[in-house]
Amino acid sequence: MSTLDDVRALEAQHIVPTYKRQPVVFVRGAGMYLYDADGKAYLDMLSGIGVAARGHADPALTAAIAEQAATLMQVSNLYYHPLQGEAAKRLSALSGLPRTFFCNSGAEAMEACLKFARRYWYTAGERSRTEFVALEHGFSGRTMGALSVTHNAHYREPFNPLIPGVTFVNPADPAALVAAVSNRTAAIIAEPIQGEGGVRPLSREFAAAINEACAKTGTLYIADEIQSGLGRTGYPFYFQALGLSPDLVSVGKALGGGVPIGATLVSERVSAALSPGDHGTTYGGNLLACRAAIVVLEQLTNGSLLEHVRRVGAHFESRLKGLAAKHPVITEIRGAGLMRGLQLSVDALPFIDLARERGLLVNRTDETVLRMLPALTIDTTDLDKAVEILDTVFTDVKAA
């Protein structure tokens, strides 16, 4: 029996079947590479779905976590510790939003956004202002609140009824957004670049419609930056590139570089509506997670990584354009920086599978989109290598 057979058999008995895994067992990572149980190396263009922003087993992150684990990991939110305020200060410097609530995942960061938006209007005395406007193709997570503002019916339907009063608008139709937002809308939810929905950046026209709807009705805007934020696009957050001014921003994935942590960043006026007991979590913002976040944020706040992402992201885009010129199955290249999607005219799955067999990890999203979210520290040599492997994959799947 191979390690894969053993692991598969164990999981088949003991793990609930909510994931469809690809046939590989990873046991080690270093920089841009993952290694399977047989020692085969894979160039990782996904970084754990945009999480390992500094690559795998980053020495500075590893050393900080090890030291923190040996010192103190958890005291709960009953007490102060020195690292939450420090991590929040760095998030504030990057986002312009002064205050942070820490939690443990992206979905939890969205739950906090939804609760805080409702609480804001409750405090303001507008108690009928409870509804949300979200986007077609939008994805905000799988807990009940986050799922309620996630568009895909396949994820939603088995769990109905979800929270009521959510309207979905087509992001290609800015006028529809302005029409959908009323003085019953607590908040608009939109990812500045839709990730799971197919790597689809909002247009400038749609961003302007969000600003218009907020100005007209006072509605809050929640930017879901869980995938597009923290330097992924070469900007600290992509709402900044689009000229948006959110009152709430959800953050997750890359924040801990692999240590689970999420955050909801809020404006002063939203924070002022909150009181002790309105929300909370046992682990949220513990010392281990905050120490990891401080290491990740340090590299972003000193600016050097953002410049790197912009530079290598532009190089990657031009290489992908060359690939698309050669392979007509690629009909569009979308995204920014190191968040890239290749729109294919067919199902992306056979390309993903062959790429993996050839030592390259990419994934499929929205059925026909091949998505890449490499570590932010990747260099042009590895990006070129990824494009070269993809070139052989597009040649051979087409020929098959």
Site residues for ligand PLP per CB under 6 A: 49, 105-107, 110, 139-141, 191, 195-196, 224, 226-227, 252
- Please, which residue, 140 or 185, has the CB nearer to ligand PLP? 140
What would the DSSP string read from start to end of 330-396? EEEEEEETTEEEEEESS-SHHHHHHHHHTTEE-EEETTTEEEE---TT--HHHHHHHHHHHHHHHHH
- Please, which residue, 107 or 393, has the CB nearer to ligand PLP? 107
Q: How far is the CB of 139 from ligand PLP (least distance, A)?
A: 5
- Please, which residue, 84 or 140, has the CB nearer to ligand PLP? 140
- Please, which residue, 49 or 72, has the CB nearer to ligand PLP? 49
Q: How far is the CB of 92 from ligand PLP (least distance, A)?
A: 21
State the alpha helices, DSSP H only, in the chain: 3-14, 47-50, 59-71, 83-95, 106-123, 144-148, 153-156, 174-180, 204-217, 238-241, 268-272, 287-301, 304-326, 349-357, 380-399
- Please, which residue, 145 or 313, has the CB nearer to ligand PLP? 145
Q: How far is the CB of 196 from ligand PLP (least distance, A)?
A: 5
Please report the sign of the dihedral spanned by the C-alpha atoms of residue 395, residue 396, residue 397, residue 400. positive
Q: How far is the CB of 30 from ligand PLP (least distance, A)?
A: 24
Residue 193 · residue 202 · CB < 8 Å: yes
- Please, which residue, 221 or 394, has the CB nearer to ligand PLP? 221
Q: How far is the CB of 331 from ligand PLP (least distance, A)?
A: 23
Peptide bond connecting 161 to the previous residue in cis, omega within 30 degrees of 0: yes
Q: Closest residue to ligand PLP, Cβ-based?
A: 106
Q: How far is the CB of 398 from ligand PLP (least distance, A)?
A: 30
